[in-house]
Amino acid sequence: MDSRISIVYGSDARQLTLSLLEHSDIKSRVPLGASIALKPNLVVASPANLGATTHPGVLEGIIEYFFGHGHRNISVIESSWVGERTSRAFEVCGYREVLKRFNVPFVDLKKDKAISVKSQIGRIDICETALKTDYLINLPVLKGHCQTRLTCALKNLKGCIPDYEKRRFHAMGLHKPIAALAAVLKPKLTIVDGLCGDLNFEEGGTPVLSNRMLLGEDMVALDTFACNLMGVDPDDVPYIGLAELYGAGNAKVTSENIISLNSPKKSAPIKQSGITKNLTRFVKEDSACSACYAGLVHALYRLKEERGTPCELPVAIGQGYKGVAFDGVGVGNCCNCASVQIKGCPPNAGAIVQALIDFEKTK
């Protein structure tokens, strides 16, 4: 399994998706006539800009790409969480218009037949359509989660099981069954919607604008890398290590495996409210890229999680700080004249957390 991860920065979900697919030459991996199933995250009936669900532009880009290369046997499959109607989420998230335009069917997995399959933890019932498709493409949102801290590639597959099985997964503590499901289902490709995932809750409501998308074959590598982006220790997300143990992928991620298609650019003025505004009240921002700023927000949130109080250290971020002296911590390559600079374009949240902790010790 290829453990390389491609990253692209920007705000247009359709165009970013096309760029990732074209750069990775995905068409060469899928034989003509193969059935292709796209599995987004429609956990709740909530628009993607609130941080919980996959942007419809992601599906638009994938369908456009495969149609352009002669593929027509494409479907979109999903099952919202227990208590939510998948059909309602499908409407609210804007999928109907996209699928109608391409005449692509939507399969509500809540109504699908289930097949019992052997796994590392015993038998698991999996929805037939997900299990039998030739080329399953996983389309998770990178976001926080109230129970597992992070949800991305591995956990998104939980939408491929019946509701009664979802309840059983929770009764089992989530981690082992999530890992076992991933080892059985093994999507051929994962494209991560990291445009604006929620800070800490799978239902959305506190989106953090990152303007970034990822592509890879190895879900374990992707989730490990996602932890770094959010400042989460992968060891604190047990299903990642278990998935590696069960044979779902490789948790080792090296810089050589990360391929950046472009660099982040200055974004529109960053709007904040609620928890993110409180976290960043000591931050000096001038023309920051959204991916860089998102890393800082996640880092500040991790520090508050550990300490109970917001970080009050002086922090600067943004292109406006190039060549500008700053007595404090500068985030990113732009802040080259800060007392302490966290290099990277953008640096991940894990690096920012460690730099803030180290700087605090000098005070």
266 in any annotated domain: no
Omega prior to 346 cis, within 30 of 0: yes
Task: Clarify whether residues 319 and 241 are in a common domain.
Answer: no
Predicted pLDDT of residue 308? 85
**DSSP labels, 157-196:** GGGGS-HHHHHHHHHTTSHHHHHHHHHHH--SEEEEE-SS
Task: Clarify whether residues 220 and 286 are in a common domain.
Answer: no
The domain boundary residue, chosen from 260, 283, 315 = 260
Which residue stretches of the chain have pLDDT < 70? Answer: 267-273
173 in any annotated domain: yes
47 in any annotated domain: yes
Predicted pLDDT of residue 74? 98
| CA-based R_g, the chain, Å | 20
354 in any annotated domain: yes
Predicted pLDDT of residue 273? 66
Determine the structural domain holding residue 241 and report its residue range: 5-260
Query: Can you read off the two tokens belonging to residue 154?
Result: 């591995």
Task: Clarify whether residues 227 and 353 are in a common domain.
Answer: no
Residue that has been written with the tokens 């052997």 in this structure? 118
Q: What is the pTM of this model?
A: 0.96
Count of structural domains, the chain: 2
**DSSP labels, 194-240:** -SS-BSS-TT-SSB----EEEEES-HHHHHHHHHHHHT--GGGSHHH
Residue that has been written with the tokens 């979900």 in this structure? 13
Task: Clarify whether residues 156 and 233 are in a common domain.
Answer: yes
58-88 pLDDT per residue, tens: 999 999 999 999 999 999 999 999 989 999 9
